[in-house]
Amino acid sequence: MTAAHQHQRQNDQSDQPAMPREVLAAPDMSRALTRIAHEILERTHGGADVLLLGIPTRGVGLARRLAERMSAVENRVVPVGSLDITMYRDDLRIRPPRPLARTEVPGNGVGGMVVVLVDDVLFSGRTVRAALDALGELGRPRAVQLAVLIDRGHRELPIKADYVGKNLPTSVREQVTVLIEELDGRDAVLLGPASSSAQGGDVR
Amino acid sequence: MTRHLLSAADLSRDDALLILDTATELARLADRPIKKLPTLRGRTIVNLFFEDSTRTRSSFEAAAKRLSADVINFSAKGSSVSKGESLKDTALTLEAMGADGVVIRHEASGAPHRLAGWIKGCVVNAGDGTHEHPTQALLDAFTMRRHLGNLDGRRVAIVGDVLHSRVARSNVLLLRTLGADVTVVAPPTLLPVGIDGWSCAYSYDLDAVLPKTDVVMMLRVQRERMNASYFPNAREYSRRYGLDAARMAVLPDHAIVMHPGPMNRGMEIAAEVADSERSVIVEQVTNGVSVRMAVLYLLLGGSESAIGMEPLPAELTGAEGGAT
């Protein structure tokens, strides 16, 4: 709280538009993901029938990393895929149509599996609601859990993550941007004012 | 601004690629236990068909239903049109019922364009006279991309009754946008007068074109639109412009054979060619549903359309002020 407050003051003093600041560096991100991987294995007693599904775009990369870590610990392949939620969004009617991303479910589908949804940032909870709808059309998982790298608060639906990399108190006017090596060239989590970084984050 | 899909020329390269990429993802829906998406729930789509059609109408209907839209089918037979109602009155009646989108097929070239000026919903041209059939061109391009990858520099031969073909015109426009080189092949009597103005090459000699072709698309000879004799008889046409096994053998190994349907076996295409491994004719029908889903989603799925005709430039609408 105090750190954020100080940062706010620094921004006020400069005439430059506020730059997004790094709240999680690459090593912090890596440690958080390793911890989540272990938590999933612990909670699911070795993760025998766990299926990780990343929500595009950044969630897919994070899900793959979790799967790698879990596979390394348990010495077997943990299945990982992606779940596109575009067609299930509740804001479709108030925005232009978006391009679709890929849904890829490995193996024998989601039936009977413990599906862990993976996303980069948990905010309003609307993405997760859409993901639950999308998942329901694919089959009937035994259980569904949620893993996120950042929980930034401001929930608008009764949804809670099972695994959280970092709880990050934010203002609704701020923008949280997760960068991942595969897509952005480096790993980091940035916190900045919505106006500037919202555009930068979307373009990249 | 409501946008429409009236002509393949309305689509920029980015628009066309967005439709094809969206269709690629939607095609994967076919492998799922529940082949339905909630995206167009509560939207109403009217299929307004003034001309006979089985595959296009049922394809649009399947596409709309898989997106959970409500579909009203309207065919001219057994409707007020046979009692003398005009296109405009029919359209206004349908609009009063709350149609968000109208898919129209009409025997008059330009009918969808007129319709677009009368109603508020978006209009999709499902074939107008001998003019255009943009969703057919999109599904053809989609099928070619699945087999050949990027279409830049690919050589496509469109063979047969080009004069009466809306499929040929839309394909030439779209394939040009996507970077393919198109050659239309037909007897001189079945090429349109303005063929020199088309963005494609043309030839009268099928045998010369086939060896350097990646895709050969056969067109049906549209007897119902012919009010004169354009060639001496069916046998002579078939011998010079029909695709038989001997002609298929000179195609490059990777080449595919397409036909928009309905086929006249033995006329423009031999049965053994239509049923061969090279033929992707049945796949074209399957792909049609995915491509039409993509078009309906991108036109109707959001607050505004993501594809189609751009708003008219300011100088044409009479708006004041310079650009930007």
**Closest Cβ–Cβ partner in A92, A96, A103 for B39:** A92
Contact between residue A88 and residue A116 where contact means Cβ atoms under 8 Å apart: no
A123 to chain B, any CB pair closer than 8 A? The answer is no
- Position B84 scores a pLDDT of 77
Q: Do B32 and A137 touch (CB under 8 A)?
A: yes
Tell me which chain B residue has its CA closest to the CA of residue A99: B22
Asked if A92 and B301 come within 8 Å (Cβ–Cβ), the reply is: yes
B141: closest CA among B5, B44, B284, B15?
B284
Q: Given this chain, do its domains B8-133+284-311 and B134-280 carry the same CATH topology?
A: yes
Nearest residue in chain A measured CA to CA from B32: A138
Catalytic (active site) residue B83? yes
B301 lies within 8 A of chain A by CB: yes
* Distance to chain A for B24, nearest Cα, Å: 9
pTM score, whole prediction: 0.88
Question: B8-133+284-311, superfamily in CATH?
Answer: Aspartate/ornithine carbamoyltransferase (3.40.50.1370)
Residue among B179, B142, B166 at smallest CA distance from B258: B142
Q: What's the token pair of residue B297?
A: 């989603």
CATH number, domain at A70?
A: 3.40.50.2020
On whether any CB of chain B is under 8 Å from the CB of A5, the answer is: no
* Bridge partners of residue A119, in order along the sequence: A148
The pLDDT of residue A203 is above 70: no
* B105 flagged as catalytic: yes
Residue A88 near chain B (CB below 8 Å): yes
Contact B304 A96 (CB under 8 A): yes
The domain limits of chain B are 8-133+284-311, 134-280
d(CA B298, CA A87): 11
pLDDT over 90 for what percent of chain B?
75
Into how many domains does chain A fold? 1
Please state the rounded mean pLDDT for residues A104-121.
94
B66 contacts in A (CB within 8 Å)?
none
> From the list A84, A97, A138, which residue is nearest B298 (CB)?
A97
Residue A123 scores a pLDDT above 60: yes
In a domain, A132, yes or no: yes
- Whether B302 and A103 lie within 8 Å, measured CB to CB: no
Q: Let me know if residue A113 belongs to a domain.
A: yes
pLDDT tens digits for range A6-25: 444 444 444 455 688 999 99
Phi-psi region of B153 (alpha: psi -120 to 50; beta: other; left: phi over 0): left
The answer to whether residue A184 sits within a structural domain is no
The catalytically annotated residue of B24, B39, B55, B212 is: B55
Phi, psi for residue A131 in degrees, rounded to 5:
-65, -40
Active-site hit among B3, B4, B66, B105: B105
Residues of B in contact with A84 (CB under 8 A): 25
Residue B305 contacts A, CB cutoff 8 Å: yes
In a domain, A4, yes or no: no
In a domain, A3, yes or no: no
Is A190 contained in some domain? no
pLDDT digits (tens, 9 = 90+) for A52-84: 999 999 999 999 999 999 999 999 999 999 999
- Answer yes or no: is pLDDT of B99 > 80: yes
Residue range B217-242, pLDDT digits in tens: 999 999 888 877 888 888 999 999 99
Nearest to B136 by CA among B306, B287, B296: B287
The domain B134-280 is placed in CATH, from the list 1.10.1060.10, 3.20.20.60, 3.40.50.1370, 3.40.228.10, at 3.40.50.1370
Q: Scanning every residue of chain B, which has its alpha carbon at the shortest distance from the alpha carbon of A101?
A: B25
* Interchain contact, A99 vs B32, CB within 8 Å: no
Alpha-helical segments (H) within B97-178 = 111-118, 134-148, 166-177
Asked if pLDDT for residue A35 goes beyond 50, the answer is: yes
Per-residue confidence (pLDDT) for residue A16, from 0 to 100: 53
Task: Note whether residue A128 is domain-resident.
Answer: yes
Q: Which domain holds residue A49?
A: 26-171
